Copies of this chain bind each other. A is one copy, B any other.
Amino acid sequence: MIDPVELHATCLPFAEARTLPAAVYTSPEVLATEQSGLFGRTWLCAGREADIPAAGDFLTRDIAGDPVILVRGDDGRVRGFFNVCRHRGSRLIDDSAGKGLARIVCPYHAWTYRLDGTLARLPGGDAAAREQPGLVPVHTGTHDGFIFVNLDPAAAPLALQLEDLPDFSRFQLPDLRVGWRRTYEVQANWKLICENYSECYHCPGAHPQLARLSDLISRSSRPMEIGDCYNGGPMQLKDGIETMSLSGKRTVTPIPGLSADDHRYVYYYVIYPNLLLSPHPDYVLTHTAWPLAVDRTRVECELLFTREALERPGFDPADMANFWDITNRQDWALCERTQLGAASRGYRPGPYQPAEDCVHTFDRWYAERLAALL
């Protein structure tokens, strides 16, 4: 399905490298390989601890094609389970989120599980339950307020995967709360979304609103940071611009304690494979991407604010939310037309342009992993 020579060409040093072969964007076999070998064996950002603060609070997620429950137990721990009854395989929970669950009860035969996954009751009584196994667990971990899951039973620790992630502690991520959220279904491969986010070469023509706010060349004037699990870096706000929003002005309290530099920059990081993290002086923008098909990706976008900002009377995220909703949609349209082109035999892997260094970094990260799976 994929020519290893083409994948290798993506892994060459920047000047000689070629963009990814078309099939990685169009082949259902590649997607199946990604779902089993990449998304099925990597720590993926699946939400935030603040989404399920109390015992019995839960999220359900489709992870690499598999339904997963994330639930906070009576002991305060977040655990993950396949959303599948151990008895005959019925889906357990339909809602995408909820609060205050005491037990997980299967709607089919009423098998009843505790929040730690053990079986509490069978129709035949508590004694019968003791002999049966509980829910099949899924590894979970947390970092900086984010919940990560890994479907691989033999998963290495999350900390190992995030070993060289930059320190974002000054942005107080665990304490931030969601002030706006939107889900998009983009008719494009998930990697096109990561690549699009990894360069601003397209910004002058494609993002007139963004181009008014941000110094588009700053990404190359200050070198990008490139690590094992991420790439990204800063873009400078133009003079007189306080944040990324339709007005360019701040309308909420900034995150306290940031440096003067942090007030002049917005940061954009791709944390492999599916988290886009963008700290601003007054809020943090996140995207998580979930492949649905070779040409379809679900993207969840959130704006996170300090509790102080959120709880202030008259809090209104519209200025920022409308800006990012407009910019998101501009980007999805570009990703979608690239999806159409990648499906053509007229597609040719080509050289990266100077402003596409982070695209190359992401592509090489991906190509190395895919090559290992073939």
Q: Which residues of A contact B (CB under 8 A)?
A: 19, 22, 40, 65-68, 81-92, 94, 107-110, 122-124, 132-133, 136, 138, 151, 195, 201-202, 204-206, 333-334, 337-338, 340-348, 350, 353-354
Contacts and interface: CB of A to CB of B under 8 A. Distances in A.
B107 A341 contact: no
Contact of A110 (B204, B342, B344, B346): B204
28 contacts: A65-B343, A66-B346, A67-B340, A67-B344, A82-B345, A83-B344, A84-B344, A84-B347, A88-B338, A88-B341, A88-B350, A89-B342, A89-B348, A91-B337, A92-B341, A94-B337, A107-B205, A108-B205, A108-B338, A109-B202, A109-B205, A110-B204, A110-B205, A122-B353, A123-B204, A124-B354, A132-B350, A136-B348
B82 A353 contact: no
Given A109-B201, A205-B107, A337-B108, A66 B344 contact: yes
Contacts of A347: 82, 84, 89
A347 B353 CA distance: 46
B66 A350 contact: no
Contact of A337 (B107, B337, B340): B107
Contacts of A68: 346
Identify which of A67, A204, A346, A353 gathers the most chain B CB atoms within 10 Å of its CB. Answer: A346
Given A334-B107, A346-B136, A350-B86, A341 B67 contact: yes
Contact of A334 (B81, B108, B338): B108
Nearest to A82: B346
A338 B87 CA distance: 10
Contacts of A90: 334, 337-338, 340-341
A326 to B, nearest CB: 16
A166 to B, nearest CB: 27
